[in-house]
Amino acid sequence: MHRRHFMKSALGASTLVSMGASTIPAFLSSSARAAASSAENDRILVVVQLLGGNDGINTVVPHGIDGYAKGRRALRINKNQIHAITDEIGLHPSMGAMSKLVEDGRLAIVQGVGYPNPDRSHFRSMEIWESARTDPNAIDTGWLGRALDARPFKAGADLPGLHIGTRSRPIALGSKKTEIPSLTTLEQYRLQLTGSDVDKRKEREALERMIRTDRPDTDPLLGFIRRSTLAAYDSSKRLEQVASKDSKASYPDFGLAKRLELIAQIIKAGFGTRIFYTSLDGFDTHANQLATHAALLTELSDSIGAFEKDLGAAGQGGRVSLLVFSEFGRRVAENASQGTDHGAAAPLFVVGPVAKAGLIGEHPGFENLDDGDLRHHTDFRRVYAALLDRWLEIPSAPIVGEGFAPLDLFKSARV
């Protein structure tokens, strides 16, 4: 009996009648295989949301494009410190690790991303990005929540999505069917045994023995809970093994790095979770932006670099993609406080086995501004459509709406 088949039928009581006690040992041996094989088949999306509105202009710096130097005086980034991508455009000096990802063919930078009639309120613009809907009354679910709903979560299995962080669950993960939990540490994903190592081992063994003990198991509901509980204890053990083996993976001492490390541990432990969501706060740089922004981009770039290195070493790079976005970019013209105010279009990042690394799409240019802001030419929902259709292989139209052709970010849909 394959675990997945059981899970599919778990909610239909009538199909459970045939499940007698004799199927349980078979399940136990197959669950480990199911967990192992899922590691090769299931693609994962990690989303990093930059909160506050990242200054895209000083992240993917168009130093050679007319208008940059005019808009940015105090905040201008020196051309020879930039990690060049083309003659005109390069990454911020703090982004060495991400610049290496471009060289390695792992980072696509989509330029000029936004949506029509840009809203410059953090709150509202986050709602639009996270819900992928422009109707303010349609924010009860998020684009990823709807993606999870489209691929029904099998009761008893690993949760399909996780939010990592202390912020309350983002709208993006709002689902009609599954409440996506928020985790801050691995501890919350582990059996909290207490006492000495010997006590812990004994207690775990006693729990496992209690669950495994043969029962006159004529009740399929009970059998289902037994399996789920064993799978839970098993996943806890997998995580502990990964965590103890894992001392080699080196992450910098940043909050984002710790969150990505936690995600990597869960991925490497072979969990069925396919969507991870986390964020990095602090991008609302209205004043004295230069040093703050450089520090944030160092955290972003070094954390993602370590995450990529870790997953690559574990042979997981082929099944993990990562999206980095912010609710809006910032105005072209800096303000009088050596900062920048809320803007509109901006670049975003997709890391993973991308079809083409480097810049995707033209820079929107400084000629034809929208009330002082860059104009978008690529709707963010086309990026979502690519991640849904071509990466997660979940039809995008019901989720982001009709008319958003997927960008060519990935080689092709794997069918």
Q: Return the range that interacts with other proteins (CB under 8 A); candidates 10-18, 68-76, 344-352, 407-415.
A: 10-18
Q: State the nearest-atom distance from the C-beta of 141 to other proteins, in Å.
A: 9
> Does the protein bind other proteins through residue 413 (CB under 8 A)?
no
Pick one of 196, 213, 247, 368: the residue that binds other proteins (CB under 8 A): 213
**Region 164-193 residues binding other proteins, contact defined as CB under 8 A:** 168, 175-179, 181, 188-193
Q: State the nearest-atom distance from the C-beta of 27 to other proteins, in Å.
A: 14
Q: State the nearest-atom distance from the C-beta of 140 to other proteins, in Å.
A: 7
For other proteins, the closer CB: 146 or 363: 146
> Does the protein bind other proteins through residue 214 (CB under 8 A)?
yes
Pick one of 1, 211, 243, 290: the residue that binds other proteins (CB under 8 A): 211
The Cα 95–Cα 59 span in angstroms is 8
> Does the protein bind other proteins through residue 41 (CB under 8 A)?
no
Residue 348: which of 51, 102, 44, 112 has the closest Cα?
112
Pick one of 61, 157, 263, 387: the residue that binds other proteins (CB under 8 A): 157
For other proteins, the closer CB: 37 or 81: 37
For other proteins, the closer CB: 206 or 287: 206
Q: State the nearest-atom distance from the C-beta of 221 to other proteins, in Å.
A: 6
Pick one of 29, 123, 209, 247: the residue that binds other proteins (CB under 8 A): 209
**What would the x/- binding string for other proteins be over residues 225 to 264, using CB under 8 A?**
xx-xx-xxx-xx----------------------------
> Does the protein bind other proteins through residue 362 (CB under 8 A)?
no
For other proteins, the closer CB: 17 or 336: 17
Contact footprint for other proteins (CB under 8 A): 10-11, 13, 16-17, 137, 140, 153, 155-159, 168, 175-179, 181, 188-194, 203, 206-207, 209-211, 213-216, 218-222, 224-226, 228-229, 231-233, 235-236
